[in-house]
Amino acid sequence: MYHHFGDESVLSLCEVPTPQPASGQVQVRVHMASLNPVDFKLRSGMLRLVGRPKRPAITGKDFAGEITALGANVQGYAIGQRVFGSVDPLGGEGSCAQFVALSTDLIATIPRALSDEVAASLPVASGTALQALADIAQLQRGQSVLITGASGAVGSSAVQLARAIGARITGVCSTANIAYVRSIGADRVIDYKTDNWQNCGDRFDVIFDAAASATFSSSRRCLKGGGIYINTMPSGALYLAALVARLSSRQRCVPFLLKTNAELLGRLATLTADGVIAPRISEIVDLGQVAAAQRRMEDGKVSGKICVRVNP
């Protein structure tokens, strides 16, 4: 956890009271957590104006584990049941802890076939891809989609989902990940180290900027007339671009903010159990290694998910 904003050095292992479930909540013994860029963005203070996050705070959002206690008015869940989900870290709670307590609207049952590390990898990364492509863009079979950061946790889930939908997929990644991105379903792969995808000459129905590496203004020439651009890193400039696009053209610009709930998590569980999504897990670390792992993520040295072993 961390008591003030800063780099990874502000993280330390601490003893805190075990959280108890309130009405409508469950207590979960965390077996596995997973790390996301939002974790270090919150820790660094980059998102301190978004929801005014509390401190001290435990880092981490995603987890998998088993229910150890039920709050009042909880139905449909039982002690010992395997669940996964995503906490709301703005209140200081986090998943890199032995226990979490949270609403049943933020969890779902883990299918028997899924491991804890796979389940813990799903909520933020795969949830972002599913909500962006299926719910917001409403990507259809035969449409064309370009996905930046196609080898990362969000982007690779997006490629796999787009493949299942039947879209024509162009993935953008580094040289080292071209073979991987092709293997998960991309029809074409652009190496951003040698080519600028914005000069590829094609126009797409959907541009999913999972790497948040571009802007709407620089991307719109690659969009079809009624196309949609989705960026995973909202900013004031992006919200302004969205307004201008809505008023001046048929193109759409969407600053994306994930909205996690039990329904979304249930869809992710089903898609993963059916083999549509296979998270790319790069490594599993212990709690004492979280700070170093977040540093590697910040430096862009991680492809896929880092999981955290909490209660083996």
Question: 216 and 135, same structural domain?
Answer: yes
Question: 172 and 205, same structural domain?
Answer: yes
Joined tokens for residue 298: 């910040």
CATH number of the domain enclosing 179? 3.40.50.720
pLDDT reported for residue 240: 86
**What percent of the chain stands above pLDDT 90?**
80
Question: 64 and 14, same structural domain?
Answer: yes
Question: Which of 219, 240, 255 is at the close of a domain?
Answer: 255
Does residue 171 fall inside a structural domain? Answer: yes
Cα 149 to chain centroid distance, Å, stands at 12
Residue 183: CB partners within 8 Å, gap ≥ 6? none
Beta-sheet pairing, 25-34 with 281-286: unpaired
The residue type of 91 is G
Question: 235 and 131, same structural domain?
Answer: yes
Q: Is-contact 150 129, C-beta < 8 A?
A: no
The residue type of 92 is G
Query: How far apart (Å, rounded) are the C-alpha atoms in residues 147 and 162?
Result: 10
DSSP state for residue 300 in the 8-state scheme: T
Question: 134 and 27, same structural domain?
Answer: no
Instruction: Among 19-23, 26-30, 87-91, name the one with the lowest average pLDDT.
Output: 87-91
Q: Is-contact 91 246, C-beta < 8 A?
A: no
Cα 277 to chain centroid distance, Å, stands at 13
pLDDT at 201 over 90: no
pLDDT tens sequence across 61-119: 999 999 999 999 999 999 999 999 999 888 889 999 999 999 999 999 999 999 999 99
pLDDT reported for residue 263: 97
Query: How far apart (Å, rounded) are the C-alpha atoms in residues 20 and 33?
Result: 19
Does residue 273 fall inside a structural domain? Answer: no
Q: Is-contact 308 34, C-beta < 8 A?
A: yes
Of the candidates 151, 172, 159, the one whose C-alpha atom is nearest the C-alpha of residue 282 is: 151
* Domain interval for residue 209: 125-255
Does residue 223 fall inside a structural domain? Answer: yes
pLDDT reported for residue 200: 87
Measuring CA to CA, how many Å separate 225 from each of 165, 204, 267?
A: 22, 9, 31
Q: Is-contact 170 148, C-beta < 8 A?
A: no
Q: Is-contact 231 254, C-beta < 8 A?
A: yes
Half-sphere exposure of 152 (CA within 13 A, CB side): 26
Burial class of residue 105 (count of CB atoms within 10 Å of its CB; 0-12, 13-18, 19+):
middle
pLDDT tens sequence across 144-178: 999 999 999 999 999 999 999 999 999 999 999 99
Task: For residues 291-311, give the mean pLDDT.
Answer: 91
Does residue 270 fall inside a structural domain? Answer: no
Per-residue pLDDT band at 137 (split at 50, 70, 90): very high
Domain count, the chain: 2
Does residue 57 fall inside a structural domain? Answer: yes
Per-residue pLDDT band at 20 (split at 50, 70, 90): very high
Query: How far apart (Å, rounded) are the C-alpha atoms in residues 221 and 88?
Result: 37
Q: What is the mean pLDDT of the chain?
A: 94
Query: How far apart (Å, rounded) are the C-alpha atoms in residues 69 and 82?
Result: 12
Question: 136 and 100, same structural domain?
Answer: no
Query: How far apart (Å, rounded) are the C-alpha atoms in residues 63 and 170?
Result: 31
Does residue 272 fall inside a structural domain? Answer: no
pLDDT tens sequence across 244-289: 888 788 898 988 889 999 999 999 999 999 999 999 999 999 999 9
Residue 48: CB partners within 8 Å, gap ≥ 6? 5
Question: 243 and 203, same structural domain?
Answer: yes
The number of residues making up the chain comes to: 312
CATH number of the domain enclosing 43? 3.90.180.10
Question: 51 and 77, same structural domain?
Answer: yes
Query: How far apart (Å, rounded) are the C-alpha atoms in residues 14 and 56?
Result: 11
Question: 214 and 101, same structural domain?
Answer: no
Question: 115 and 51, same structural domain?
Answer: yes
Does residue 261 fall inside a structural domain? Answer: no
Higher pLDDT: 114 or 233? It is 114
Does residue 182 fall inside a structural domain? Answer: yes
288 membership: H or E segment, kind and range: none
Per-residue pLDDT band at 126 (split at 50, 70, 90): very high
Question: 237 and 147, same structural domain?
Answer: yes
pLDDT reported for residue 48: 76
